[in-house]
């Protein structure tokens, strides 16, 4: 694992032609031209300042809710998972988590420190950065429902503190200032009993394990729930459980999950997503909108 050293003394790890299948929960995807894991927030800012203005930049965390195409990504991929990992209580009574902190870890931290309201995050298989970017939710809770403020970074490494009023927040959708990425969130919570919080997290995880294919490579929910209905119900009602394209299959356990049975390609997964959309539209008259983000070029 070569370390990057330059006159700017970057402390992170740079790799060229890095296979992104290693960094996504579907275990598919081609290589990134450049792949960087920052040492910390300061190092990330330094790295951003070192990039050419026209360099395409993509940010990933745990690689869930993400389909990287087989041709890979032209440009630079920044992976924050486990790197931007600071988690702390702030002086104003918030919990601050950097973008690389796993949602489940944030949920446990909040409970252990006597806060309630973040337990639902235990059921989200992503990081704080990804949860902020898409307003991730589970078990009736949504990320931006507990956000007090966020910290963002632009291409010049400048950090800004913004509030929810700077964004248009909707179901699985966040729109705000262009050219800024989330690097931390500050969460406002209410006091809660530690034992009750731990019990709630345990029950949420047990339900997730019983109803979702957590033991097989997947990216979480593939489609957004349409208003007043559930994508899984529509897919199942159309008879699509078990439908496959190669090793990419609609889960028999939860119809809104597509699993990789072992050797699936990104192209097979993408075709299966489109096929499910077509068949549900034809049978139910509803066009399902993907929740999964698709990145990269076809091979």
Query: In 3-state terms, what secondary structure has residue 43?
Result: helix
Q: Tens of pLDDT along 86-121?
A: 999 999 999 999 999 999 999 999 999 999 999 999
Catalytic pick from 34, 119, 180, 221? 221
Q: Tens of pLDDT along 29-44?
A: 999 999 999 999 999 9
> What confidence score (pLDDT) does residue 8 get?
63
The CATH 3.30.43.10 domain(s) of the chain lie at 13-79
- Hey, which CATH number is domain 13-79, 3.90.660.10, 3.30.43.10, 2.40.30.10, 3.40.50.1100? 3.30.43.10
Question: With respect to CATH, is domain 213-295 assigned 3.90.1150.10?
Answer: no
Catalytic pick from 172, 208, 224, 271? 172
- Hey, which CATH number is domain 87-210, 3.30.450.20, 3.30.360.10, 3.30.465.10, 3.30.1360.70? 3.30.465.10
- Rounded CA gap, 130 and 152, in Å? 13
CA distances from 249 to 19, 124, 265, 289, 294 (A): 23, 21, 11, 18, 17
Catalytic pick from 18, 98, 270, 291? 291
Q: What is the mean pLDDT of residues 172-182?
A: 94
Q: Is 236 a catalytic residue?
A: no
Higher pLDDT, 141 or 249: 249
CA distances from 122 to 96, 150, 194 (A): 16, 20, 15
The CATH 3.90.78.10 domain(s) of the chain lie at 213-295
Whether 274 and 207 have beta carbons less than 8 Å apart is answered as no
Q: Is 221 a catalytic residue?
A: yes
Q: Is 19 exposed, middle or buried (0-12, 13-18, 19+ CB in 10 A)?
A: middle
Q: Tens of pLDDT along 231-248?
A: 999 999 999 999 999 999
> What confidence score (pLDDT) does residue 138 get?
86
The CATH 3.30.465.10 domain(s) of the chain lie at 87-210
Number of H helices, E strands in the chain: 6, 20
Q: Tens of pLDDT along 263-280?
A: 999 999 999 999 999 999
**171 has pLDDT over 80:** yes
b/e sequence 69-80, b meaning 16+ C-beta within 10 Å: bbebbeebbbbb
Q: Is the pTM of this model over 0.85?
A: yes
Q: Is 108 a catalytic residue?
A: no
State the pLDDT confidence band at 62, using cuts at 50, 70 and 90.
Answer: very high
DSSP 99-114: TTSBHHHHHHHHHHTT
């Amino acid at each position: 694992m070569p370390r990057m050293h330059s006159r700017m003394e970057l402390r992170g790890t740079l790799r060229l032609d890095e296979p992104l299948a290693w960094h996504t929960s579907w275990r598919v995807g081609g290589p990134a031209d450049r792949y960087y894991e920052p040492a910390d927030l300061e190092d990330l800012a330094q790295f951003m300042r070192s990039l050419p203005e026209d360099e395409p930049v993509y940010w990933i965390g745990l690689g869930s809710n993400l389909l990287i195409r087989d041709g890979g990504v032209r440009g630079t991929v920044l992976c924050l998972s486990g790197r931007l990992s600071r988690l702390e209580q702030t002086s104003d009574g918030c919990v601050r988590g950097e973008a690389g902190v796993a949602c489940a870890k944030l949920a446990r931290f909040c409970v252990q420190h006597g806060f309630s309201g973040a337990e639902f995050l235990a059921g989200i298989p992503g990081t704080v950065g990804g949860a902020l970017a898409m307003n991730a939710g589970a078990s009736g809770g949504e990320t931006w429902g507990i956000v007090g403020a966020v910290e963002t970074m632009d291409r010049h490494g400048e950090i800004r503190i913004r509030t929810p009023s700077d964004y248009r927040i909707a179901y699985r959708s966040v729109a705000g200032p262009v050219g800024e990425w989330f690097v931390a969130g500050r969460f406002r919570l209410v006091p809660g009993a530690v034992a009750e919080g731990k019990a709630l997290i345990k029950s949420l995880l047990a339900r997730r394990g019983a109803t979702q294919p957590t033991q097989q490579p997947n990216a979480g929910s593939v489609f957004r729930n349409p208003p007043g209905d559930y994508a899984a119900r529509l897919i199942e009602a159309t008879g699509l459980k078990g439908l496959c394209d190669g090793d990419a299959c609609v889960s028999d356990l939860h119809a809104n999950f597509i699993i990789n049975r072992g050797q699936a390609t990104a192209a097979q997964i993408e075709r299966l997503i489109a096929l499910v959309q077509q068949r549900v539209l034809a049978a139910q008259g509803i066009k399902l909108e993907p929740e999964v983000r698709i990145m990269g070029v076809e091979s």
